Structure 1
Amino acid sequence: MQQSITGWLWGAWLILCWACANAQPAPVLILKSREGALYEPVVQSLVNELKRKTPDLNPPIFSLTGSKTDAEIVRNLLERKPRVIVAIGTDAALQLKQHTHSLPESQRPIVVFTMVLDPVALGLVPGAEQSDPHFVGVALTVRPQRQFRALLDVAPQAKRIGVVYNPNDATSTRLIQQARDDAEKLGIQLVEASATKPEEVPQALNTLKNQIDAFWLIPDPVCAAPQPFQQIQAFVSERKLPLLAFSDSYVRRGALMAVGPDLAEQGVLAAELVQQILNGTPAETLPLLTPRRLLSYYNTAQARRIGIAIPDMLLNLAEKVFDQ
C-alpha cells in the first residue's frame, strides 16, 4: 500500500514538474510566412545556430496559412509572451507589426525578421542604419551593382539592361532607384518599362524591342510570377538576350544566370541578432544586416543557345550549374 502511495506521489510530482516547465513562456518563437521548401534552409540554419550557442534553446515553430486564420495564429502566439519572435518572410513580419503595435510597451516582444526584401520600404525599421526598439533583422536585398557586375563578367557587351517593374510597388521602386544609380556608376544604361499587373507585361516588353542588350528580372510579383516569366523568357530567347535573375529556380527554367543571397545565411544572421538581444543588447542599437555571401548560378544550355561562352572560372565558382 505504501509503495502504491509512493508511486502515485512520484507520478503526481512528475506531472507537476512537466506542467510547470510547459507553463514557462518560450524565450524565442519562430513564425514562418508559409509552409514550404523556400523557408526550410533558413529555419534549419537558424535553429542550428541558436542551439550551437544555447543548447537548451528549442524554439517552437509556427506557420501562417495565407487565410483568415492568420490573425488568430498571431494572437495565440503573442499570448505565449515570448521575449523574441523570429519572423521568416514578409507576411510574417507584417502580421507581427500589425498585431504588436497596439500592445502595451511592456508586453511587446522584439521581432527579428529575415527573408524580407526591403524592410525600410515596408516600414519595419526607420532606415538602413537604424533599427526599431521592437523590430530588427536581416534584409534580403542585394545591391543591383553586384548583379550587374556579374552579368558583365559573362556578357561584357551588355550596355543596355532592360527591366519591367510595378511602379506602385514601394519595394520595386526603391530597387529601381538603386539600379539607376548603380548603372550610372558602371557606365551602363537601365532601360525601364512599367507594368502594374501581369496582364500588362507583354505590352511593357514590346516597348523594349531593339532597345536592350540584356534583361534583368527582379523579385517583383507582377513580372516574377510563372506566366509573366514565361513571356519574358520567350522575349529574350527570340532575341538571344542574356536573362539575369535573382534565384536559381529561374535559371533552372531557362534564365542564363542568377546572383542572389545564400538563404541559409539568412538564418545564421538572424540567430546572431537573437543572441545579442537575449544577452541584453537593445534592439534599436543593432544594425539592419544584409547578405554577406552571394551565390551564383548558370545555365550552360541557355548560354549555348544565345551564343555566350561562360568562363570556366565562373562555372567553377558557381553554387550550381544547370545544363538544360
Structure 2
Amino acid sequence: VIVTIGTPSAQSMVAATRKIPIVFAAVTDPVAAKLVTSWEPSKTNVTGVSDELPLQPQIDLMKQVVPNLKTVGYVYSPGEINSTVVLGQLQSLLAKDGITVAAAPAQRTTDVPMATKSLQGKADLIYTSLDNNVVSAYESMYKVAKDMKMPLVASDTGSVKRGAAVALGVNYHELGTATGKIVGRILKGEQAGNIAPQRMTADQLDLMVSKSHAAEQGITFSEQLLKQAKLVD
C-alpha cells in the first residue's frame, strides 16, 4: 500500500501506478484533484481520507470574530486546485449573507507577504485555507497582518502557534487514525476500489485561539468564543 499526504504527492502516485493500492490523506477535494471520479467507491486502486472542511462553521466563526463582517480576504495559490475550489465555495456561501471575498493570489511562497499586504483597506479579516504555499509562509503573513491590524482566521490549527488569531480545523490525529484503518482493511485483503473515500465531520473539528495574536491584530474574543475553544493560548 502507498500512503500519500497532500494533493501533489497523491496526484504523482496515482499517475505512477494503477496496480498498487493508494490511500491518500489530507487531500481537500480528491474529485477536483482527479484522484477519484466521485465520493463513491472508485473501483480503481485509489481511496483515502479528505481533510475537506465544512465551510459553514468557518463562516460562523468569522462572523464571531468580526460581527459586522463585510469582506473576507483570501490569500491563495491559483495553481493549487484545493485552494481554488475553496475560493468558489466561499464566494457562493458568503454571497448569501451579503459578504464579498477579496481574493489575493500568491503563486509562490515568496509572494504571500505582498498578497497579504494588498488586502489592506479591502477586507475585515483574512481567511486561510489548507493552501500549501500559504501555510508554508504563515510567519511572513502574520508579520504583515500584525502591522495592518488585520485578523487572521485559519483552517489549520497549527497556524495559531505561527500567527493566526483563531483556527477551526481538522483534528489530524483523528484523520491519521482513519487513514490507518483503511490501510489495515487493504492489508487484510479488501480492495481499495471497494472502499469509499471518507470526509471528516463537523464534530471532529478543533477550535484554537490565541489571545495575544488577536490583540496584535486588533480584536478581542468574546467569552462565548473562548469557552468553545479546545485550546486558548
Same fold (TM over 0.5): yes
> Residue 317 of structure 1 aligns to which amino acid in structure 2?
Q
On the 8 A contact 1:125/1:132 being kept in 2, the answer is: no
On the 8 A contact 1:124/1:132 being kept in 2, the answer is: no
The structure with the largest alpha-carbon Rg is 1
RMSD of aligned Cα (Å): 2.6
Mapped partners of 2:179, 2:98: distance in 1: 35
Seen in structure 2, the aligned counterparts of structure 1 residues 244 and 279 have a Cα distance that, compared at 3 Å, is same
Secondary structure, in 3 states, of the residue corresponding to 1:123? Answer: coil
Mapped partners of 1:196, 1:304: distance in 2: 30
> 106, 113, 116: which one pairs with 2:27?
116
Q: Which residue of 1 aligns with 2:159?
A: 250
> Residue 224 of structure 1 aligns to which amino acid in structure 2?
V
- 2:13 is equivalent to residue 96 of structure 1: yes
- 2:65 is equivalent to residue 154 of structure 1: yes
Q: Identify which range, 209-218 or 307-316, moves more after superposition.
A: 307-316
Mapped partners of 2:215, 2:104: distance in 1: 28
Q: Which residue of 2 aligns with 1:135?
A: 46
> Residue 87 of structure 1 aligns to which amino acid in structure 2?
V
On the 8 A contact 1:126/1:132 being kept in 2, the answer is: no
- 2:139 is equivalent to residue 230 of structure 1: yes
Mapped partners of 1:186, 1:110: distance in 2: 43
Mapped partners of 2:5, 2:212: distance in 1: 33
> Residue 260 of structure 1 aligns to which amino acid in structure 2?
G
Listed as ranges, the gaps of 5+ residues in structure 1 are 1-84, 102-107
> Residue 146 of structure 1 aligns to which amino acid in structure 2?
P
- The structure showing larger relative contact order (alpha-carbon pairs under 8 Å, at least 6 residues apart) is 2
Q: Which residue of 2 aligns with 1:188?
A: 99
On the 8 A contact 1:154/1:310 being kept in 2, the answer is: yes
1:280 Cα shift? 6.7
Alignment of 1:59-74 (within 5 A): none
Question: How many residues are paired up?
Answer: 230
On the 8 A contact 2:165/2:217 being kept in 1, the answer is: no
Mapped partners of 1:268, 1:199: distance in 2: 34
Secondary structure, in 3 states, of the residue corresponding to 2:48? Answer: strand
> 118, 121, 125: which one pairs with 1:207?
118
Secondary structure, in 3 states, of the residue corresponding to 2:209? Answer: strand
Mapped partners of 2:36, 2:63: distance in 1: 33
On the 8 A contact 1:277/1:283 being kept in 2, the answer is: yes
Secondary structure, in 3 states, of the residue corresponding to 2:95? Answer: helix
Seen in structure 2, the aligned counterparts of structure 1 residues 97 and 306 have a Cα distance that, compared at 3 Å, is closer
On the 8 A contact 1:164/1:204 being kept in 2, the answer is: yes
Q: Which residue of 2 aligns with 1:303?
A: 214
**Could you list the per-position Cα deviations for residues 28-76 of structure 1 after superposition, in whole angstroms to 9, with x for gaps in the alignment?**
xxxxxxxxxxxxxxxxxxxxxxxxxxxxxxxxxxxxxxxxxxxxxxxxx
Mapped partners of 1:179, 1:203: distance in 2: 22
1:298 Cα shift? 0.1
**Could you list the per-position Cα deviations for residues 116-164 of structure 1 after superposition, in whole angstroms to 9, with x for gaps in the alignment?**
2332233211123453421111111213332121221232122211012
On the 8 A contact 1:142/1:261 being kept in 2, the answer is: yes
Secondary structure, in 3 states, of the residue corresponding to 2:96? Answer: helix
Secondary structure, in 3 states, of the residue corresponding to 1:116? Answer: coil
Higher helix fraction (1 or 2): 1
> Residue 89 of structure 1 aligns to which amino acid in structure 2?
I
Mapped partners of 1:235, 1:92: distance in 2: 30
Mapped partners of 1:305, 1:202: distance in 2: 17
**Identity percentage of aligned residues:** 27
On the 8 A contact 1:163/1:191 being kept in 2, the answer is: yes
TM normalised by structure 2 equals: 0.84
On the 8 A contact 2:33/2:82 being kept in 1, the answer is: yes
